[in-house]
Amino acid sequence: MKKKNLSVKKKIHNFYSKKLDDPRIKRIYLNFKKKISTHLANRFCVAVSGGADSMALCFLAKCYSIEKNKKVYFFIVDHKLRKNSTLEANLVKKKLNQYQISSKILNIKKFNKKINLQSFARENRYKLIIKQSLIKNIDMILTAHHKDDLIENFFIRLLRGSGLKGLISFSNIKSNLKFDSKIFILRPLIDLPKKDLVYISKNTFNFNVDDPSNLDDKFLRARVRKLILNLEEEGLTMNKFKLSLNNLSKSNNAIDYYVQKNINNNSNYLKLTNSVILKDDFLKQPDEIVFRSFSEIIQKIGKKSTFARGAKVENLIQYLKSTSNYSKKTLSGCIIQKLENSFIISSEKR
């Protein structure tokens, strides 16, 4: 390596080292490093949006890569939903490059204007990053989700009628992206308030892009943020929220135990045909146990990235409980058929 390049590299490393002299930034980094070291197995990447929390994550991940001599990939997704999105993506890439962070812009080529734009952008952002992760042999995607996001997502899911599992799932620091996937999402900042990440962003790169949709009331998330502000005035605190969330998590773990027990005791998986036979007792468990057990099996056999819609699952379960009809039903890539005193669930792709 040329002397000039070595000098630049040393200067960049000194930049990160000096920033970690700030007690607040160092405290956050040590917390971040502990979580990363506990969960990382192979290679990881950072999902970069350009927001303040995202830029803070870039700084922390770069510090970690320098200290541990690890290769980290940084992916910026240009979702094309705003006229300035391409310009913003290029600005973020340029800024990161100034601090020796090499990044790649991934482009969403087209979108359906009739669907939920934020949901579409989120889903396709992950699809693009997963595709790159498979190419680069990456098994962990780091996101900048933080405490404020945790509360927002809880109320968004509550307003959409999510069940217990949906309400608490976002609180997991690590989660599987889709069924039978070896790629995971890691949220190492989930215990930190947004103000800490804004502080890092401002006192390191001093750059971020603002998403105007964050203030646009036509989006549910913006309205939920205002709702939370009102609830805070009524006494909602993070400690109270976390206490409730922990209690819900304990209840969810208890249900999960009986879900797995129902699957293990009252169903048989036939690997050769990728099908499951449900015993008569499978549907005789408490409603929530049956619902979750059935949903998991449908997802496994159908090999879908998400669970089937709750209402469709519920309707099918009620039909199976009440009918003596032997006609086939289909759901989420599966064929469900009644036998004598049992049911068989098989893949449509056979």
Please check whether residue 243 lies inside any domain of the structure. no
Q: Are 48 and 145 in contact (CB under 8 A)?
A: no
| Cα–Cα distance for residue pair 228/148, rounded to 1 Å | 10
Query: Domain boundary at 205, 236, 267, which?
Result: 236
Q: What pLDDT is recorded for position 349?
A: 79
**13 and 112 fall within a common domain:** yes
Please check whether residue 249 lies inside any domain of the structure. no
| Cα–Cα distance for residue pair 27/72, rounded to 1 Å | 22
Q: What pLDDT is recorded for position 98?
A: 93
**189 and 118 fall within a common domain:** yes
Instruction: Provide the number of structural domains found in the chain.
Output: 2
User: Containing domain of residue 315, as a range?
Assistant: 256-347
Q: Are 265 and 333 in contact (CB under 8 A)?
A: no
Tell me the average confidence (pLDDT) per consecutive run of 10 residues in the chain, 350 residues long: 56 87 96 88 87 96 92 90 86 95 87 58 81 90 92 86 81 72 88 94 92 70 84 82 88 94 96 92 94 92 80 90 80 89 86
Query: Domain boundary at 203, 236, 269, which?
Result: 236
**190 and 336 fall within a common domain:** no
Please check whether residue 229 lies inside any domain of the structure. yes
Q: What pLDDT is recorded for position 257?
A: 96
Q: What pLDDT is recorded for position 15?
A: 92
**14 and 146 fall within a common domain:** yes
Which amino acid would we find at residue 228? I
Please check whether residue 8 lies inside any domain of the structure. yes
**197 and 86 fall within a common domain:** yes
Please check whether residue 248 lies inside any domain of the structure. no
Please check whether residue 79 lies inside any domain of the structure. yes
**303 and 270 fall within a common domain:** yes
**147 and 199 fall within a common domain:** yes
Under 8 Å CB-to-CB from 98, ≥6 apart: which residues?
Answer: none
Q: Are 75 and 48 in contact (CB under 8 A)?
A: yes
Please check whether residue 245 lies inside any domain of the structure. no
Please check whether residue 21 lies inside any domain of the structure. yes
CATH number of domain containing 195: 3.40.50.620
Query: Domain boundary at 177, 206, 236, which?
Result: 236
**109 and 230 fall within a common domain:** yes
**115 and 260 fall within a common domain:** no
Q: What pLDDT is recorded for position 350?
A: 64
| Cα–Cα distance for residue pair 171/191, rounded to 1 Å | 9
Q: Are 61 and 149 in contact (CB under 8 A)?
A: no
